[in-house]
Amino acid sequence: MNAYIIKSIGLAGLNGFDVIVETSITNGLPAFVIVGLPDNSVQESRERVRAVIKNLGYEFPMRRILVNLAPADTRKEGSIYDLPIALAVLIASGQITPAAEDSVFAGELSLDGKLRPVAGMLPMALSARDSGAKALFAPKDSAAEASLARGLAVYAADHISEIIDHLNGAGEICPAEECQPLFSEAKGLDFSDIKGQAAARRAIEIAVSGAHNMLLSGTAGGGKSMMVKRIPSILPPMTMEEMIETTAIHSVAGLTSKSNPLVRQRPFRSPHHTISAAGAAGGGKTPKPGEMSLSHNGVLFLDEFPEFRRDVLESLRQPMEDGYVTITRANRSYKYPSGFMLVGAMNPCKCGWHGHPSGKCVCSEESIKNYMMRISGPILDRIDLFVNVPPVKYAELTSVSEAETSEKIRDRVVRTRELQMSRQGTTNSRLMGGLMKTYCGISREGELMMKSAYEKFSLSARAYSKIIKVARTIADMSGSPDIETEHLAEAIQYRRSGTLLV
């Protein structure tokens, strides 16, 4: 029989799927046809494969070669099928020994047979492992990433001939060593550099402890951006699971490094405010993850919040609510996780001085209002903490008193996060519906307080539950099993006050 099957993988969004490369060589006019919804990049692999086979000194069969990529109704893209197609042709024409059934092949070929790395190796490897594959043959430069999928033997090669030798039994490739996660702490910017701003520091600690979204507002020179840029230094370490999730997204976006692919630190992304909606949410013909997904398990920092394009801000809604972005194209929709903690920073008006004691602001009431109105209500509704950052006084700026270091804050954050994870398996900001009822019980006194706050500050239902969640975090920080009135009282102070948005 002249038909042979070899396994490979495909990628749709963040999910891999099995691809079976069927090859049949029959008599007839010489032809090399690939079917099974290959896109242009897959079609082109015919030429690379033909050249590689000839350059290696093998015979390219002058018969009718049919390659079918099953499932035939799913679009295949990318150059990763070069390696499996080349091997399939060689096996089907009886020139090399067939591979074991539980082996999967992926890799791009250069014309002389060298293997080139491919994007999205980690999610593909994970999917191959989950569908029962035991071995993955991959380019060396992608191997470190593929080996993050525990339980899958990754055979890394620089050249296709190494793989051919391995199949023929002429020389064995050793499985790549599993990539070891090195826990590293963020070094560099430290919170001890921040002068004064005790209230803002406290708010940031609360936000990070419960992964709450926050918006800092204040006149120029208060140190908003400076503080936010120090957030990475107090983020808790990622779990292995989170590292894999985040690495998978970075892998699909082609952002992982070859030698050290694992994303070990929580991402901190701060796109410029000119970013497009596609850049933020993800896009392209086959959508690649955008900034929102790249900051999954980390922080998405939007400086000059109201300056972002409206469609960008609005596209934040779904991920802030659900923790993932769905991008729909004609043929299918793609779902990328985007569980980020949003940190926004903004000036209170266009000139940036509204509310500054110097009275420098030159904006009219109307223009201040318009500036605020750029952020829509639904977005503001999804922000848990609103913090005003007052300008720093000269005396504080020049004071020598040492502020608390990031290390100390981080220790507390880690403790508070661990408490949340062991109690409910998620951060307080992600407590929904039933979970919130179970874990955010408040006392009768607290209820009375919330009732009068609800009326006094005309809170929305969403604001109400935000306050409860923030209060839960504050209670966790103080190690209190129950939410007490003082926790609620502090949380209410971080609500959106009427004057932030008229």
Partner 1 sequence: MMENNGNKIPDVTVVSLNSSAYPSLLKSISNPPRKLYCRGDLSLLQMPAVAVVGARKASEYGKWAAYNMGKTLAEYGIVIISGMACGIDSWAHKGALAAGGKTIAVFGCGVDICYPKSNAGLMEDIIMKGLVISEFESGMHPSIITFPLRNRIISGLSLATVVVEAGLKSGSLITAERAAEQGRYVYAVPGNIDRVSSIGANKLIQDGASLIVSPDDVASDLGFIRGDIIEKRSLSLGEDEKLIFDAIRFSGELTVDELCAKTCLPPQDVNGLVTVLEMKGILETAMGRVFTAK
| CA dihedral (408, 413, 415, 418) positive or negative | negative
Q: Are 347 and 217 in contact (CB under 8 A)?
A: yes
Q: x/- contact string, 461-480, with partner 1 (CB under 8 A)?
A: -------------x------
CB of 155 to partner 1, least distance (A): 56
Amino acid at position 336, single letter: Y
Q: Does 364 bind partner 1 (CB under 8 A)?
A: no
- Binding partner 1 (rule: CB under 8 A), the pick from 131, 260, 274, 499 is 499
Q: Does 355 bind partner 1 (CB under 8 A)?
A: yes
What backbone torsions phi and psi does residue 159 show, to the nearest 5 degrees?
-140, 145
**Does residue 388 interact with partner 1 by CB under 8 A?**
yes
Using rule CB under 8 A, residue 494 touches partner 1: yes
**What number of chain residues touch partner 1 (CB under 8 A)?**
32
What is the distance in angstroms between the CA of the first residue and the CA of the last residue of the chain?
77
Nearer to partner 1, 285 or 456 (CB): 456
Binding residue for partner 1, selected from 169, 456, 458, 479, defined by CB under 8 A: 456
What b-and-e string marks burial along 75-106, b requiring 16 or more CB atoms within 10 Å of the CB? ebbbbbbbbbbbbbbbbbbebbebbeeebbbb
Residue 164 touching partner 1 (CB under 8 A): no
Among 164, 389, 459, 463, binds partner 1 (CB under 8 A): 389
Query: Do 146 and 36 meet the contact criterion of CB atoms below 8 Å apart?
Result: no
What is the nearest approach in angstroms of partner 1 to the Cβ of residue 492? Answer: 4
- Judged by beta carbon, residue 355 or residue 441, the one nearer partner 1 is 355
Is residue 269 within 8 Å of residue 319, measured between CB atoms? Answer: no
Q: Which region, judged by CB under 8 A, interacts with partner 1, from 56-64, 110-118, 269-277, 451-459? A: 451-459
Distance CA(224)–CA(216), nearest Å, equals 7
Least separation in angstroms between CB 441 and partner 1: 19
**Which window, 37-45, 93-101, 416-424, 492-500, contacts partner 1 (CB under 8 A)?**
492-500
The distance from CA 153 to its chain's CA centroid, rounded to whole angstroms, is 26
Q: Least CB distance from residue 407 to partner 1, whole Å?
A: 20
Segment holding 209, helix H or strand E: helix 198-210
Does 316 engage in binding with partner 1 (CB under 8 A)? Answer: no
Query: Measured between alpha carbons, how far is 158 from 153 in angstroms, rounded to an integer?
Result: 16
By CB under 8 A, tell whether 221 contacts partner 1: no
Select the span of 12-20, 54-62, 173-181, 383-391 touching partner 1 (CB under 8 A). 383-391
Using CB under 8 A as the binding rule, whether residue 489 contacts partner 1 is answered as yes
Query: Residue 284: what are its φ and ψ, rounded to 5°?
Result: 115, 170
Question: How far apart (Å, rounded) are the C-alpha atoms in residues 401 and 490?
Answer: 26
- Draw the binding track, 187-216, toward partner 1 (x: CB under 8 A; -: no contact): ---------xxxx-xx--------------
251 with 118: CB under 8 angstroms? no
**Total count of residues recorded for the chain:** 502
- Helices assigned H by DSSP within 118-193: 121-130, 140-146, 160-168
Residue the block writes with tokens 């390659």: 67
Q: By C-beta, is 241 or 402 nearer to partner 1?
A: 402
Interface with partner 1 (CB under 8 A): 196-199, 201-202, 217-218, 348, 354-355, 387-390, 449, 452-453, 456-457, 474, 486-487, 489-490, 492-494, 497-500
